[in-house]
Amino acid sequence: MTQSVSKVKDSLSQIIEEKRKEMLDTANIFGMSNARTLKHSQDLDELILEYQRLTSKD
């Protein structure tokens, strides 16, 4: 694995954790089925899929 891919994975991992916290905070305020919470969840899903794509190339 190249160093640049490693950096991207590290950055993406941090973004995923931030998005997860944002989603949970939104869910605690507005509820799990609120449109804002669902949008954060969809965004998180996309980030996780991208991370999985990167790790499957290892």
The structural domains of the chain, with segments of one domain joined by +, span 3-56
Fold entry, domain 3-56: MYOD Basic-Helix-Loop-Helix Domain, subunit B (4.10.280)
Question: Does the pLDDT value for residue 2 go beyond 70?
Answer: no
Q: What is the pLDDT of residue 1?
A: 53
> Any residues with CB less than 8 A from the CB of 19 and at least 6 apart, and which?
40, 43, 44, 47
- Global pTM reads 0.86
Tokens read off for 35: 């449109």
- Please state, in angstroms and rounded to a whole number, the distance separating the CA atoms of residues 45 and 35: 15
Q: Hey, what are 22's tokens? A: 């944002």
The 10s digit of each residue's pLDDT in 17-54 is 999 999 999 999 999 999 999 999 999 999 999 999 99
